[in-house]
Amino acid sequence: MKRPIFEEMSSLDRLVHDPARLAILTALSSCRAADFLFLASITGLTKGNLSGHLGKLEHGGLVLITKSFKGKVPHTSLSLTPEGREAIRRHWKLLDQLHRAARKWDPAAETSA
């Protein structure tokens, strides 16, 4: 017998679901934009690791990276695209639904069917 809960779990968007990228997207979802160094600080990611994940998210159309200068100092600002905002909202909603369904799942009912 099929277990739709577990099948749906395996179909989660891996671009969003990766722990580092999930942290980045979740942090960005609660603000208009964030500074690169601030995001590195709150996620605990190294600058190189954060940069790599941001590149993947930018390539996937979920994050906008804006580079500028504040005086002579480079500044990188990050924000979610509308698609990124929708993707993280949808992802957390699906995780919540899957969590509720998994709590109700009865393995004994699977074996007796």
Among residues 78, 5, 2, the alpha carbon closest in space to that of 39 is found at 78
Instruction: Record the pTM.
Output: 0.86
Q: 14 near 85, Cβ under 8 Å? A: no
| pLDDT of the residue at 6 | 74
Q: State the Cα–Cα distance between residues 49 and 30, nearest whole angstrom.
A: 21
Per-residue pLDDT of the chain (113 residues; tens, 9 = 90+): 345 677 778 889 999 999 999 999 999 999 999 999 999 999 999 999 999 999 999 999 999 999 999 999 999 999 999 999 999 999 999 999 889 988 887 777 766 55
User: Helix 36-43 to helix 47-59 angle, to the nearest 10 degrees?
Assistant: 110
The domain spans of the chain are: 4-107
Write down the architecture of domain 4-107 according to CATH. Orthogonal Bundle (1.10)
